[in-house]
Amino acid sequence: MFSASFELVMKHGFDKVRVDEIARKARVSPATIYNYFGTKEELYQQTFNNWIDSKLREYEVVLNSKIPFNEKIKDLMNHEIKNIRILTDLGQEHPESVHYFLHNLEGKFESFM
């Protein structure tokens, strides 16, 4: 569900995506989404929490790898460049969507560091 939600919101923006569209793309019923998440807003927040968590796992893989430190820094910077592009595109196309994303971002990265 998270990948379907993320893809549709990135493409169309939060306000224009309906739960039934997400459900259709995720191959579940809209009732399943409402039963699990309660609201579209909560699904959206959990979608971005999932995205953030996946990025942090990618960073951990790099940090725990046996590659030299300068290569780790280079890899982490490349990951960040991709993530910044995604967020910049989201902000330019759908500024209303960025609010939901930023809600928990700071706390997650702070505890990761």
Q: Which helix (H) or strand (E) holds 77?
A: helix 69-93
Residue 101 has pLDDT above 70, yes or no: no
State how many domains the chain has: 1
pLDDT band at 34 (very low <50, low <70, confident <90, very high): very high
Q: Domain with 68 in it: what CATH number?
A: 1.10.357.10
| Rounded Cα gap, residues 63 and 69, in angstroms | 9
Strand ranges (DSSP E) for the chain? none
Instruction: Please give the DSSP secondary-structure letter assigned to residue 106.
Output: H
Residue 14 has pLDDT above 90, yes or no: no
Per-residue confidence (pLDDT) for residue 92, from 0 to 100: 72
| Rounded Cα gap, residues 9 and 57, in angstroms | 22
| Rounded Cα gap, residues 65 and 22, in angstroms | 36
Q: Tens digits of per-residue pLDDT, 35-86?
A: 999 998 889 888 888 988 898 899 999 999 999 999 999 999 999 899 888 8
Residue numbers of the domain that contains 28: 2-112
